[in-house]
Chain A
Amino acid sequence: MAEEAAAQGPRPVVSYLKIPDGGDPYLEGQKCSGCGAIFLGERTTCSSCGSTGSLVPTPLSNQGELYVYSIVHRSFPGVEVPYVSAIVDLEGGGTVKGNLIDIEPKPEKIRMGMPVEVVYKIAPRKDAEGNEYLTYYFKPRA
């Protein structure tokens, strides 16, 4: 396809990771103007209050805190272990799941509630056509 051939740069790993032309990548929430609930990914209806057409794209913060985690030691073949699966609450709203990096994967090193930030990197995996993807990670904030 002509458009695909012309496309520059990596693709987003998920639909809610936005890569603006010439700007920094960010995570986008869909915020309900009725009840304030925040979702990841586009949708027509709010599953908190049932409003339709009330969802407004809202950039999410890159700052957050670690809510909970698990240290994964066994996964599918080819998935590098151990790694830290983390649930992060972002400042101003929105909860996101991802890998927590730049930390030793040991319970005594990880503190629930610790400040983390969202960082963006090229994923170490490509799709069958060899396309690159931009993904996000969490890392401890100084």
Chain B
Amino acid sequence: MSDVYIAGIDMLKFGRFPEKSVPDLGAEAALLALKDAGLTIQDMEALYCGNLMQASAMVGQRILQQIGQTGIPVTNSANACATGATAFRGGWMSIKAGIYDAVLIVGVEQLGKAGLLGGGGGGGGIPKEGLLGSQLMPAVFAEAGMEHARKYGTTFEQFAQVSVKNHEHSTKNPKSMYQKETPLEMVMNAEMIAYPNTKLMCSVNVDGAAAAVLVSEKKAREIGMSRAVKVSASVLTSDPFTERDLVMPDINTCTRQAAAKAYEMAGLGAEDLDLVELHDCFATAEVLHYENLGLCGDGEAGKLIDERQTWHGGRIPVNVSGGLLSKGHPLGATGVANMYEIATHLRGEAGARQVEGAKVGMTHVIGLGSACGIHILEKSA
């Protein structure tokens, strides 16, 4: 089976673009990725498009109607916040299987100021939100964080530090929605949304798009390997049965299983990673994933934060892009944008926020309900 390489990748600066449509944003990112690869839409043999909120609206085809209707197969995928990673993995599998040599991946979302997500409930009768607890995302991820607090004594302040870190990181990322430092007191005193998550500990609803061109080794050699990034592992899991999962979504087990498979596939371990972009949809979530991804032992996440090991310049920098908390979280674009971040460091092109000498990086997303996508990328040249 061929190795798979990222030949081109780019993203739009995340923000709010009410004057544009979802296909507008996707098309813009697609053209940037093609340009980055030095290829054209005529070179693409398939398109894998990820978008959540317009999942039934043929977003991929509408992108091609803007940038080139070459008649290639289009697969539109939706998988909650793992949508972008799922589209990416579709493309990866097609090359791995030897079906194509070059495919286009687009992740795109237009959220605007969507407000609180989740809490749909359903099932008839009367609305359940606030009557049978909360199904809103801030509370669901707060409860996941409180499980860690229950086991290991993790504090509100430690959770808040994640937001301090990611906002600080984003000041060096020109493609982040926000580039503003938020000191600890500001984070902790921000409006409480769902304890222990304050407003600054919730990811930002934004519009955005990111795109990538994936190629086979043969194609990569043809166009030149100097900026190629190897996709060493691509894994997707769903939530296996655990005791409370159907009442309290378990974002840990699916992440642990995906991480184990990804390390095995890449023949690498957590100690080989130079940086990680993980799914900090809420500050509480990032803490759990330090342990889920093996960046530290169980119960050591609080210590990792206290010792600033996941800050830029620390032992294992996490979310140097600013993460979902500051860069923004356009659901379907997130899982491709985090690949852009890692690839940019591996190429040595990350400017002021460059993690020096980065050779291996990991991306991680979680779609609640649940899907976990993990990719390991390696510098190839």
Interface residues of A (CB under 8 A from B): 11, 13-15, 37, 39-40, 47-48, 67-76, 79-83, 85-87, 89, 95-99, 107, 112-113, 123-127, 133, 135-136
Contacts and interface: CB of A to CB of B under 8 A. Distances in A.
Given A74-B191, A75-B136, A99 B131 contact: yes
A82 B133 CA distance: 11
B126 A125 contact: yes
- Dominant SS at the B interface? loop
A99 B129 CA distance: 10
B352 interface: no
B125 A70 contact: no
Given A70-B142, A112-B146, A95 B130 contact: no
B297 interface: no
A83 B248 contact: no
B23 to A, nearest CB: 30
Given A70-B142, A82-B192, A107-B156, 16 more contacts: A13-B125, A68-B143, A68-B146, A69-B146, A70-B138, A73-B192, A74-B116, A80-B130, A81-B130, A85-B133, A85-B134, A87-B248, A95-B244, A97-B132, A125-B126, A135-B132
Contacts of A39: 246
The 3 closest A-B pairs by CB, nearest first: A70-B142, A79-B130, A85-B133
- Residue from A40, A47, A76 whose CB has the most chain B CB atoms within 10 Å: A76
Contacts of A126: 126
Interface residues of B, number: 36
A31 to B, nearest CB: 13
Contacts of A37: 241, 243
A5 to B, nearest CB: 19
A73 B130 CA distance: 10
Given A68-B150, A95-B248, A75 B126 contact: no
Contacts of A14: 123, 125, 128, 132
Contact of B131 (A11, A68, A89, A123): A123
Given A76-B116, A76-B119, A71 B195 contact: yes
